[in-house]
Amino acid sequence: MLTTVVGSYPAIPQKPKSLYSKISNVLGSYDQYIPAIEIAVEDQVNAGIDIISDGQVRGNMIEIFAENIIGMDVQKGISRIIGKIKPSNHSLYASDLKFALKKAQNISTDYKNPNKTASKLFKKNVFNTNFKGIKGIITGPTTLVLSCRIEGFYNINKKEEIIMDMAAVLKKEANELQNAGAAMIQIDEPFLSTNIVNINTAKKALKIIIEDLNIPISIHVCGEIGEILNDLLKFPVQIIDCEFAGNPSNISSFEQEYNSSKKIGFGCINTKNKNIENIDQISALIKKGVNIIGEENMIIDPDCGMRMFSRDTALLKLKTMKEAVEWL
C-alpha cells in the first residue's frame, strides 16, 4: 500500500542568518519559506512516505490562493472576492513544487548511495527511501468561493458563475503543477461534506480543472461523507480521499456504498488530536478498510493536513503510520 500525506506540514519559516541570506533579504530576494519547505520534505522522506508534498508552508489553504489570484485579496485575515477572478501571469506554487521535488530527489540519492552523506536527520548508515513522487495540491473552486466574502463584481446569489471562473483559474495552476513534475494532483474540497454545496456544480468545476491532465487526480473531502459518498464515487477522479480516524462513521458509509474500482485515500491518523496513535490502533483501522475496500485500492495517509501540530508530533505520527503499514 502506498503512503502519502494530505498536504500541509508545520510551517517553520526562518529569518535570514547567514551573511548571504542577510544580503539577499536587503535586496528583497530572500524567501523565509524555502527552509520551511526543506524541513517538510526532509521529514516526509525520513518518515518513509511514498508520495510527499511541499508542505503548503506559506499559509492556510484559503489564504494561499486568495492572496495570489487576480480578483481576490485578504484583509485582516478575511479572504474576499472583490473583482473578476482571473489567472495570474505566473504559476502560484509550481516553483515550490519544483524545489521540493529536487530536494527529495537529492535526499533519495544520498540514501541510495552510501558514499554520500545523508541528511543529518537520517540515521547513520541507513540508505533506504520510499520516495516515489510529489503531489501538487489545489484548494478546490467550490471551497474557495464558499470560504470568501463576495464584495465586488459578482452577484452573490449566482455562485455557480463564480465557481466556474475559479475553476478556470485553477485549471491553469493544475497544468503548471503537472508541468513542474507533480506525480499526481490533489484537489481539496472540504465543503462538499457540509450539505450546503451543489454537488453537480462541484463536479462540473472539477472537470474543467482536470480535462487536460494526464496524471492521477485525487479529491480530498473532510468530515462525514455518508450523504455524498455515492455522488463522490461518480466524480471523474482516480482517488477519493477521506477521514476515517477522526470520523469512524465513514467506515460504515463505505460498507454500505463502496462498490467501485476507485482508489481510496484512507485517513488513519487523527489530525485533530495531537496524541500519537500506536501501531496497533492504526493497524486495526487499516484492517477494517482492507475488509471493505481491498488492499489494492487503498492509499494510506493522515486524515487531513498537519499544519497545526508541532514538527515533532507531525513527524512521529507519520513514522508511526508508516511502521503500521510495513508491519501489516
pLDDT digits (tens, 9 = 90+) for 28-78: 777 889 999 999 999 999 999 999 999 999 989 999 999 999 999 999 889
How much is the pLDDT for 130?
A: 85
Above 50 in pLDDT, residue 115? no
How much is the pLDDT for 147?
A: 94
Q: What is the average per-residue pLDDT within 289-299?
A: 95
The answer to whether 80 and 74 have CB atoms below 8 angstroms apart is: yes
Above 80 in pLDDT, residue 125? no
How much is the pLDDT for 149?
A: 94
208-212 own/partner pairs: CB under 8 Å, 24+ apart: 208/164, 208/167, 208/168, 208/171, 209/138, 209/141, 209/167, 209/170, 209/171, 209/174, 210/171, 210/174, 210/185, 210/236, 210/237, 211/171, 212/171, 212/175
Q: What is this structure's pTM?
A: 0.90
Q: What is the average per-residue pLDDT within 250-254?
A: 96
How much is the pLDDT for 112?
A: 57
Q: d(Cα 204, Cα 137) in Å, to the nearest integer? A: 19
- From residue 228, alpha-carbon distances to 168, 193, 225, 231, 242 in Å are 25, 7, 5, 5, 12
Q: d(Cα 142, Cα 221) in Å, to the nearest integer? A: 12
Domains of the chain: 2-327 (3.20.20.210)
Pick from 56-70, 110-124, 245-259, 270-284: least confident: 110-124
